[in-house]
Amino acid sequence: NAGVTQTPKFQVLKTGQSMTLQCAQDMNHEYMSWYRQDPGMGLRLIHYSVGAGITDQGEVPNGYNVSRSTTEDFPLRLLSAAPSQTSVYFCASRRGQGNTYNEQFFGPGTRLTVL
Amino acid sequence: GQQVMQIPQYQHVQEGEDFTTYCNSSTTLSNIQWYKQRPGGHPVFLIQLVKSGEVKKQKRLTFQFGEAKKNSSLHITATQTTDVGTYFCARGTGNQFYFGTGTSLTVIP
């Protein structure tokens, strides 16, 4: 199993540009999520999904969109990039949902810089 | 709120010394997870605690969940250079996870 994969590894954008961060998992996990990691802030949840066709907002959703058309894929879209979105983005997945708190498997991350 | 507070933010130890990081919440936790992130890497799950007073060990790592389920700790005995990284606690509530700010461990050979 490849686990959780993310592309690209690095990206530089100009303010106002849009892009999609890709995330895929091959473990048939119901739950997938996106986090951003900033220095001194830990990981903060952006959006999550408990299954295909179901998404919801996390702690810091503004400026980001997600969709979940398949169990495997959970892309994150930045509609109009801003310097405040410069961060490292991690995708994660886990079995189950709700109060079934199984371990989360994280992808390798995407380091995004917005100029 | 939903956050978990983690201390200290940084810790430098000589190789062979012990290390402890603490995770505290103002509200009762239903669970607490611990993750390790190596420099430049991604978080890797270490363990989950769910029972009051629970203690779990993984080789030199000891994890504890407080009796009141409002705090947790990770203790590493006789640190090694391979222990370098940032250790995070995380609480799960509903479908969301809230991470602590992490403790960055540096081990001086």
DSSP B65-88: E-TTSSEEEEEESS--GGG-EEEE
Q: Which of residues 35-94 of A touch B (CB under 8 A)?
A: 35, 40-45, 48, 50, 56, 58-59, 90, 92
Give the residue ranges of chain B where pLDDT is below 50.
none
Confidence class of residue A98 from pLDDT cuts 50, 70 and 90?
low
The residue of chain B with its CA nearest to that of A46 is B96
Confidence class of residue A100 from pLDDT cuts 50, 70 and 90?
low
Q: Which of residues 84-113 of A touch B (CB under 8 A)?
A: 90, 92, 97-99, 101-109
Confidence class of residue A11 from pLDDT cuts 50, 70 and 90?
very high
DSSP chain A: ---EEEE-SEEEE-TT--EEEEEEESS--SEEEEEEEETTTEEEEEEEEEETTEEEE-SS-TTEEE--SSSSB--EEESS--GGG-EEEEEEEESS-TT--PPPEE---EEEEE-
Q: What is the mean pLDDT of chain B?
A: 95
Q: What is the pLDDT of residues B68-87, one digit of tens each?
A: 999 999 999 999 999 999 99
Residue of B45, B47, B97 to mutate, testing the A interface (most A Cβ within 10 Å of its Cβ):
B97
